Chains A and B, each alone.
Chain A
Amino acid sequence: DVKVTQSSRYLVKRTGEKVFLECVQDMDHENMFWYRQDPGLGLRLIYFSYDVKMKEKGDIPEGYSVSREKKERFSLILESASTNQTSMYLCATAKDYGYTFGSGTRLTVV
């Protein structure tokens, strides 16, 4: 089975901090995605990557950036954390049969 590992389950950060969320997959999947999930708003795509060093903006990229230096690792960066970025962050990888999600990181910005 594909395993998608997110480095932290819970994080608390201060406003203005630079925050790194890491995601690692153990299969050879090209496509990786970062979503945030908020009550009533569902899953919203922040960024995705279809190959090493390739990235595309999703629906809500403002305030975020990403890095994909190696195929197995896709990092989400909050350049200057704000309270409205408090959310559940989900990483996913995709092949032919839908996504496999990581366990999620619940980020609280205080």
Chain B
Amino acid sequence: QKEVEQNSGPLSVPEGAIASLNCTYSDRGSQSFFWYRQYSGKSPELIMFIYSNGDKEDGRFTAQLNKASQYVSLLIRDSQPSDSATYLCAVCCPGGYNKLIFGAGTRLAVHP
């Protein structure tokens, strides 16, 4: 079993819809969770991080964490074509040293 699992996609949503991206992790000792966005040919950029169970909102983005189910999600409201990218889920830090474990990413395509 992979440590961090994501559906590779592509997840295709119409413009204006809610995109829901999901991630599961295996290490119950994980403390913090991150979502990165990566455009094709670019490096990942941090969108959000979450430490506590529940929801955390930042603009059109909401991160949701359920530690009991070992599940993290990212909701993107009012999806725009510019949101089309690969979204990486990352989990901190089973091996210490601030070392993140990344999922393979979900490709999101927002079509007009």
Contact = CB atoms under 8 A, between A and B. Distances in A.
B92 interface: yes
Contacts of B63: none
B104 A102 contact: no
Contacts of B97: 31, 48, 50, 56
Chain A interface main SS type:
strand
Contacts of B98: 31, 94-96
B105 A102 contact: no
Contacts of B49: 97-98
A17 to B, nearest CB: 24
Interface size class of B (residues with CB under 8 A): 20 to 34
Interface stretch (A39-47, A68-76, A78-86): A39-47
Interface size class of A (residues with CB under 8 A): 20 to 34
Contacts of B42: 103-104
Contacts of B88: 42-43
A26 to B, nearest CB: 16
Contact of B104 (A40, A45, A97): A40
Chain B interface main SS type:
loop
B6 to A, nearest CB: 9
Interface in B13-50: 32, 34, 36, 41-46, 49
Nearest to B46: A98
Contacts of B8: 40
Interface string B68-92: 0000000000000000000010101
B43 A48 contact: no
A42 B90 contact: no
Contacts of B32: 98
Contacts of B99: 31, 33, 45, 48, 94
Contacts of A40: 8, 104
Given A42-B103, A96-B98, A101-B43, 12 more contacts: A31-B97, A40-B8, A42-B102, A43-B88, A43-B102, A50-B97, A97-B49, A98-B32, A98-B100, A101-B44, A102-B43, A104-B43
A45 B49 CA distance: 21
B21 to A, nearest CB: 15
